Amino acid sequence: MPDTANHFAFALVCLGMVLTPGPNMIYLISRSLSQGPKAGLISLGGVACGFLFYVVSAAFGITALLLAVPFAYDALRIAGALYLLWL
C-alpha cells in the first residue's frame, strides 16, 4: 500500500498535468472568448465526456486492444471521422 508521501507526490504530478495548458485549454478559451461563457461550458462538457470515454476505455482494456491490433485503431478512427462528417 502506498504511503502518504507517495500519494502527495502523485497528487502534485496530477495537479501539474491538469494545470498545464494544452489543446483542450486553448479550445475552451477560444470558444469562451468568441462565443461567450455558455459556449465555453458546453465545450467543457464535451471535453469532459471525451476524458471520461478514454478513462472507461482504459479501464476495460480497449486501449490495450487498440495498441495491439492496428486495424482496430484504424477502424475506430475512420468510424469517428464518418460520424463527424455525418454531423
- The parent domain of residue 17 ranges over 4-86
Q: Which residue has the cell 471520461?
A: 52
Residue 13 confidence class, pLDDT cut points 50, 70, 90:
confident
pLDDT, residue 2, reads 65
Nearest CA to 47 out of 29, 67, 65 is that of 29
Q: Is the dihedral of CA 61, 69, 17, 52 positive or negative?
A: negative
CB atoms within 10 A of CB 31: 19
pLDDT, residue 43, reads 92
Cα–Cα distance measured from residue 47 to residue 28, given in angstroms and rounded to the nearest whole number: 9
pLDDT, residue 1, reads 62
pLDDT digits (tens, 9 = 90+) for 29-86: 999 999 999 999 999 899 888 878 877 777 777 777 877 888 888 888 899 899 989 8
Per the structure, the count of domains in the chain is 1
- First vs last Cα of the chain: how many Å apart? 47
C-alpha cell at 65: 486492444
Of these ranges, 4-8, 22-26, 31-35, the one predicted with the greatest mean pLDDT is 31-35
